[in-house]
Structure 1
Amino acid sequence: MSTLPSLSALRAFEAAARHLSVTLAARELCVTPGAVSLQVKELEAALGVQLFLRRPRSLALTAEGADYFATLRTAFRLMREATAEITARARPAVLTLTCTPGFALQWLVPRLGGFEARMPGIDVRISPSNRRMDFAHDGIDLAVRHGFGRYEGLVAERLVDDELVPVCSPALAAGTSLSTPAHLAGFTLLHDEHRHDWPLWLEAAGVPGVDATRGPLFVDSNGAIEAARAGLGVALVRRSLVHRELAAGTLAVLFDQGVASALAYFLVYPAGVLERPAVAAFREWLLAEAGRA
């Protein structure tokens, strides 16, 4: 049985042959050029063949060196792939989802503990942003987007339907004359980034004479919801985002008039991403949670 050369000598030769440069090989391996040259010479002595043609300012492989390099390059690639695979098994699977801050805080995060208890080996990372992020450039696996469900080149599955409802604190609802939508003319209207929602709702409710443009504007629905809870006015929000507050009694829905919207929250992703078991498992759980909601 032939004795294998040292691994360090083989690494030095493979790097030098790949770069055709002792200097670049040394930089990659974090050693000196002299150390690479010495290891390659020791390898040549052990094999009894010349691997390089050494010229004053260049390096070239001999025929034997080229054949040996082709085999070693494949062997090192296989070792790198095997190492990456076995270390990946030891790490938790990671997936990244982006959604608006309002959807993250009001809908997703309160439910996420159920998924973590069910699939503790999957690390879900949420990237809340009102910016539409790029899947490849931003390293995103899944996205929850608010829109009509038309996203070119992507799969879009309807997740949560939308219904706009006016809400306020129970104290404000009980202590004032908010018995009909027309009474909103005397109250502060709270807006999130969708300032067009109040005109839409008032038109559907058949309420004239209410200035839908007045009132503070919040960056996202979280601010409008918190302001409504604090009794600062009436917010028009998506029912799906205030289920906890309504169930706990910290918010109350005013009137029976809701406005169904053609908009909805969609789960959006590139088709190939479901080949990863962790992503497929999270998608299945997310759709099931939306169905229960």
Structure 2
Amino acid sequence: MTYLMQLDPSMKAIRATDNTKLRMPTYNGNIEAHIYFKKFRQIAPPLVAVPATDDNFRVLGLDPTTHTETSRWIVPPFPLLPTAFQKGGPFIRDGKLSDDWPGFTPEETAVVHGDYRPGLPGFVPRELSYPLDVTDVDTSDWTIKMWVSGQATRPAEPEERNNLLVPWTYFSIGHLDLWLEQYRCFHLGLDIPTELSRPDTETESDRDEHTTDSGMKTTVVALDESAGDDAGKHTMYAQVLVDSDIDKAVAATQYYAHGYFLEGVLKYWQATNQVDPELELDSEGDGIGITGQPDHVRTAREKLNALPTSAEEMQALVDDIEAAGIDID
């Protein structure tokens, strides 16, 4: 069954960026959604939320003049899988968030582990049933943690357990559709659905994926007009597979083949005019994003695919990078 979300092959792919406003067309109007971070605390999926706005209430069939809300969000911030932003997905890019939006405070956010869904107004365990007043829910046995760095966490202090919760689990667009329908039905006194809708299936994609025998995995996506100033460019995500020949060659140099290592390699190639100096580099723990003109991205891909697999050749490359004053780590 479908609820609100409309998937259409004509919908363009979107490049997720920080502080971005989205439109999600439905049969009853546009739902406003927000991307706060294209990756949050080095977790790969974008952090997305549906704000509690008058227009969103109207699209859900709720009267904003009588509807009261205890949260800034209808669906609080959660990690949404990147497949939601591929061709045929549910979103249209609608510009940057305005400065008057109160925004999102990472330092006042905790991680909640387990199988969770939105309650009113935060994330609660799936086994808790509607109707639900989350202010009366006992959270003493919940696994709630605070981010330290990257994906490292520590147990939340007692005063931190009441922070806004972001689920550790990644979710598909089908969950977002279900959560919106649950919210709508709850406030209208209708039967509340529990099953994911059709958008749980994968959207169409123009992704070009390739993995070399040596362990370099690259995925290239062509950006269209929905990407704004980046329309016409290509964006590529590159990563070295664990225990591959490249990974072992890098390990022999006492480095790790993460995104920051690849950034150092690419910066060296840029400095020596082996790849285009205007390529945008966005590294993280697992890999690196590269955006630029199609032929420039293609050259970068060819260079990465040809990274040496012998310890001696990799060490020679590392020596050249360090001699150029480029930080690999």
Higher helix share: 1
TM over 0.5: no
Larger Cα Rg: Structure 1 or Structure 2?
1
